[in-house]
Chain A
Amino acid sequence: MPEGPPDRPRLIYRHRLVTRLWHWINAIALLIMVGSGLMIFNAHPRLYWGQYGANFDHAWLELPRFPGWVTIPSYYSLAGARHWHFFFALVLAFGLLVYLLWSLANGHILRDLRIRARELGPRHLWKDFKDHLALRFHDPEDPRAYNIFQKLAYVGTLFVLLPGVILSGLALSPGMDAAWPWLTAMFGGRQSARSVHFIAMGAILVFLLVHLTLVLLAGPINELRSMITGWWRVPAEKQP
């Protein structure tokens, strides 16, 4: 068999400026929200279900305080953590709102993130699962397209976890509870909203862990460059 010359690396423009900008703003905001949120949690490290919940009530979760190297600030300061949290809450919430509206307008959501029925078929899911185990993340026919697990992770984070963590956080504010009582009621009360807020934060951390792992497996330099410059090198796919 004749051996052709090695293919020139093919670069495609994968991430638009809005996507890249939001990605990094959001990454910073999320890290600060988690760090300052854990410090706020440290002030009363017990979680309850329902409208009320304090020391004499049953807590479904009680944790030791989070250590200083994961909290913002690193020393105990509920007031300081609240300043961080409420500043970056605005960045997180309005950043997401602008990004989602923009991505709807420029077609990003419908073109790249829309989940098609055939992608959810068991045969497709199984094939994609086996591809993941073999570290094949891209369809050689259409390398720009996200695979189904990627779509599910991004859609779940963009439309469930991030809105969920923002809305459950809003439901904790007594001023918001008065202005929008339906919001706190939707979560089943303020203490339930506080539990949901914590669980959603945990789920976002799981997403982050999987996301970073896959960036490392898929080639961190190429992936990082694509999220900074927008340009992504199509990897030479291993043959199945």
Chain B
Amino acid sequence: MILTRRNLLVGGAAGLLTGCDRFTDSPVLASAEEAHRFLQRSIGRGSLATEFRPEQRSPIFRVNGTHHPNTPEYNIWAGTGFADWRLKVGGMVARPMQLTLAQLQHMPQRAQITRHDCVEGWSAIGKWQGPQLATILNAAGLSPQARYIVFHCADRYGDGGYYESIDLIDAFHPQTILAWALNDRRLDVGHGAPLRLRVERQLGYKQAKYLVGIEAVASLAGIGKGKGGTWEDMSGYQWYAGI
């Protein structure tokens, strides 16, 4: 092989880039997540995500992730219009609850037209409606020791059920709702029927679908593999998905 300057440059650059691979899982790189969370919270702790006008919505809101949980339990719920489905509210709360879809629909509602940003890069705008998570947490009486809210889902993903978690700043954020409607219709199966989380200042993988339980915890250590969510456990996605 003739070693020209050009070959050396191209080969050198490619070698450098490939050499990067072994640092990819370094905790130093991952520490940037905390820095970004700190910076974003410093400049906009209570800020609201942008809301849009009805005509600004996406013509088609694409389905992503699980398209159908297809477990025996879920199929029974879906067959009866989710009449037998319940949302369990538990963990570090004074009053654990089991809520029906009708009860959730009769709580004070919030509707918002927001942009859903996928970690892959695409965005879709839709109108979501449901009770604020804060209403439910206040009704259940959150323990002062609770620091995170964990969302358990009906769809299987990897080793267990899909789950996600957020801190109390996002849990009590006014735009954080448990949505049962998209674009003025009840959620279809693809979009997470009967109930999903909307936490509008974070990416799509935080918007847990097919909710069956919300749990208040002091630590994320004992849940799943301890990183706070299915994608965080499986693939190393950032737990703070505001970036």
Interface residues of A (CB under 8 A from B): 31-32, 35, 40-41, 43-44, 46, 51-57, 69-75, 77-80, 82-84, 86-87, 89-90, 172-181, 184-185, 190-191, 194
Contact = CB atoms under 8 A, between A and B. Distances in A.
Smallest CB-CB A-B distances: 7 pairs: A175-B242, A179-B44, A54-B122, A44-B121, A87-B32, A43-B120, A80-B24
A51 B35 CA distance: 27
B30 interface: yes
Given A75-B21, A84-B24, A175-B242, A54 B62 contact: yes
Given A52-B115, A54-B123, A178-B48, A31 B16 contact: yes
Contacts, number: 161
Interface residues of B, number: 55
A82 B238 contact: yes
Interface string B208-243: 000000000000000000000001000111100111
B119 A71 contact: no
Given A35-B17, A83-B24, A40 B30 contact: no
Interface of B: 13-14, 16-18, 20-21, 24-26, 28-33, 35-37, 40, 43-44, 47-50, 52, 56-60, 62, 115, 117-125, 200-203, 231, 235-238, 241-243
B177 to A, nearest CB: 15
Given A80-B25, A83-B29, A86-B243, 14 more contacts: A46-B122, A51-B123, A54-B123, A57-B60, A69-B14, A80-B24, A83-B25, A86-B238, A87-B29, A87-B32, A174-B200, A174-B241, A175-B44, A180-B44
